Structure formats: structure tokens, C-alpha cells
Amino acid sequence: MEAKPPYIQRKADFYLAEWKENPQKLPLIIKGARQIGKTETILHFAARNYENTVYINFVTDEKFKSIIKDGYEAQSIVKNITLIDASKKFIPHKTLIIFDELQEFPEIATSLKFFKIDGNYDVVCSGSLLGISYRRIQSNSVGYKIDYEMSSLDFEEFLWAKGYKDAPQEMLSKMKNLTPFTELEHKVYADLFHDFCITGGMPAIVSSYLQKGTFEGILEMQRQLVLSYKEDAKKYAEGLDKMRIANVLNHIPVQLAKENKKFQISKVAQGARFKDYWGCIEWLKDAGIVIVCYCMNFPELPLKGNYDASKYKLYFFDTGLLLANLDEDSQEDLRVHGNFGVYKGALYENIIAESLYKQGFELYYYKKEDSTLEEDFFVRAKNFLIPVEVKATNGTAKSLRTLLKSGHYADITYGIKCIQGNIGFSQNVFTFPYFCSFLLKRYLKDFAPPADAVSLSTYTKL
């Protein structure tokens, strides 16, 4: 019998632990794209924190959809669960009830209010496509539940899985002190980041990589995941053209490979129009499959509301799935030669987009009309609007320099450039290796520019 793979620690573990200790806790809904590890994480938490667990999966155990036939009161539902399966036990104040695959039976969310009022059992729900499925809920217990968005592994969780528990804090310290990595440190972290970019963050794929120590079978697994998302579209996309959703997914890598990475509906199909496809893009966004990056009207604060909803770039929520969509020549160039520059830097840009999104940033870019000025991303730090440029090579960042020097952009004083090279600072531009991108939110939380900003230069190339 094949041994079960070791559990991969997730950030959700810490959230769940805090949630349990809160005496005023509300029933919890964990949502996110499919196969990102929601169920495994919840069951791992339950086994270590509760004397008793009641697990109900609305896909594999459809009979439990009848548990609300007598209403939504907690004791009524508990009674009906035990009527269906007498082996399930409910020990007050020592039981965690898990309702899994909530998208198959979103009506159960109405009961969360009554479980909170009852107070005898903790409840965690999990499911995919919840942004969509909530439309079917009679009452989603507003004020009586809390939501937690989970994603695939980020690079920090990947580092933990590889045994580098202290690395994130050490890396953050170097960023804050503008201390370049040693040649050995840089090589180790860059190699780990390269492997993470190839695998992506889907737990089953990362687990396979950790067990085998190779990339054997990973491409096939990634392609199967993409197919499963397309199957979800056929099953759940009510009132939408399923083929249009598949067409959007197929065109993301194609359009990211262009110099102008703005997603153009007209390129998806002949005669395609924005109004016909916007619902498909919203569906993919709600399902957690794509990340939407909106074009700002003008690079200034505030960010919210300062964008054109009809101009946007689309990224895969997990770069591993983008890799699965590359053509065969690019696959070979990437996997055999390690060339992440394929698709005109699209992979690097998707990696940084994914990293920013997983930190909780909303994504914005800027493209000036009738100009070559285009900036990849913008983030906020206190009263600073900070452009973030992603460079496939360690060359100059022309648009970033223009934003800093022109005098037309009052909120922009500093910029960040993500590169293959080392940590540094010169002419108000901070340079960080790609592998540090997962730390940007923590770095910017207490952002304090160097005292002698313009003259300080610690940039070191490797």
C-alpha cells in the first residue's frame, strides 16, 4: 500500500487555529478554486483540534441534501444527519461539522445563522465557484458567517515544504536593510523559485515534485487541471456560452505573449464583442481561475475607482497552469533550457501578478494612450503610489524612469523593479529578485525610504 504523502503546511492552518480560539467565532466558509487543498487543510485541522468530526461531502453523499427538509434549525439538521447515518455522532462543544463541496448545495449556508445561534458545534464549509453559487442561496447568513479565501501555494509555502522555514524572515530583513544576497544565497533561492515556477502551487503537483524530486508527470497533471476547469465551465456556467469561456482561457497565454498584453476580446473570435464576453470573464474571475488587472485612468491615488473596466489584462491564478497552455516549442525551451523569457516575458509577469494577488493586492496597470509608456503594476504604501516593473532581463526600466522623472505624477516618488539580479537601490528605484516578490506587502507595510534616497546606491548584479 502506497504511503500517504506528508501534509504540506499552509497559511490557512494559522488562520484556522486563530479562528478556533476566538470565543465569538462565526461559522466559516473557505472558498477558492478547485483542487487547491481546501479539504485536506480542513481535515488536517479537524484531526488535530477536535475530539469529534462530522464530515459531509455534497458531491459524494448526495443523500445529505435532504437534511434541510424540516427547516434550517441546527438541531433539526443534526437529527436528519443522524437519521441518514446513525454512525455520525455530535458531541456538544467538541465537534466540528464540515460541509464540503458547498457549490453543489449552497442552500445549506442558510443554516449557518442557526448553528451560530445554537452554539453547540463549530462549522466549517468549503467549496469551489462560491462567488457564483451564492446567487442560489436563499439567505447566505450575512452577519452570521465569515469567509476566507484560499489559493494555491505561494512561494513562502513552497519554501516551508522544502524545509526553509526561516528563509522568508531572513529575506525580508535583507530587503528592509537593502543588503544584497550572497552569491550562494541567491543561487539557492533562485533555483528554488525556478522549481516553484515550473510546478506552480497546486498541492497535488507540489507533493509529486517533493516525493519524486523531479518534474516527472507534472506537465500532464497541469494539463489535466486545465481540462477540469473547462469541464467545470460546462457544468456550472448557467446562462453563458461554455465555448466562449474555454476560448478566453485558451487565449490568455496567446495574448500575454504580445508586446501589448491588454486582453482584446476581438482577438478571441471573429466578430467577438466586449459585451458578449464580459460575463465569461466575470465567471472565470468569480471561479478563482483568472486574475483581472485593470488599466488605470491615470496613475494617481486613490486606486479604487480609478480604472477603465473595459481595459484589462488577464492572468492565470497559478502560473503552473499558464505553463500547461504553452506550445510545444516553448515547453521545450522552458523545461529543457530553463528559458523563462519565452512568450516575451509573459511568464515573469504572470508570476508577479500571481504573487501580488495572493498577498491581497488588487491589480492595476497603466498604458498611456498614443505613447510607449506602460507600467506593469501599481501598489500602495502609505501615501506613495509605487509602480512595479517586471523585467525579463536586468535592463533599464524606461517607463518606470519616466514616471519618476517627468513631474506629471505627483503621487509617484519611488518605484520597484523585479529582476533576476540582486537587492539594490538607485535613483529611487528598489530592485528585488523575483523570488522576493511574495514579501512585497510586508516590506511596504512599514515603508520608509532611505534617508539619502537619490544618492544611495547598493545595487549589485550577479
pLDDT digits (tens, 9 = 90+) for 40-88: 999 999 999 999 999 999 999 999 999 999 999 999 999 999 999 999 9
Q: What pLDDT is stored for residue 277 in this prediction?
A: 86
Indicate the average pLDDT of the chain: 90
Q: Which residues are within 8 A (CB) of 276 and not within 5 positions of it... i.e. 6 or more apart?
A: 244, 265
* Average pLDDT for 9-32: 97
Task: Tell me the helix, strand and coil percentages in the chain, rounded to 5.
Answer: 45, 15, 40
Closest by Cα among 438, 378, 362, 359 to 151:
359
pLDDT at 460 exceeding the cut of 50:
no
Q: In whole angstroms, what is the distance from residue 25 CA to residue 20 CA?
A: 7
Least confident of 62-76, 233-247, 252-266, 364-378: 233-247
Q: In whole angstroms, what is the distance from residue 65 CA to residue 104 CA?
A: 9
Q: What pLDDT is stored for residue 131 in this prediction?
A: 67
* Average pLDDT for 14-41: 96
**SS3 call for 308:** strand
Q: What pLDDT is stored for residue 407 in this prediction?
A: 85
- pLDDT 10s digits, 394-407: 667 889 999 999 88
Q: Output the pTM of the full model.
A: 0.92
Q: In whole angstroms, what is the distance from residue 263 CA to residue 279 CA?
A: 15
Determine what percent of the chain is predicted with pLDDT higher than 70: 93
Q: In whole angstroms, what is the distance from residue 414 CA to residue 449 CA?
A: 8
pLDDT at 230 exceeding the cut of 50:
yes
* Average pLDDT for 160-180: 97
* Average pLDDT for 237-265: 86
pLDDT at 320 exceeding the cut of 50:
yes
* Average pLDDT for 267-280: 84
* Average pLDDT for 113-142: 82
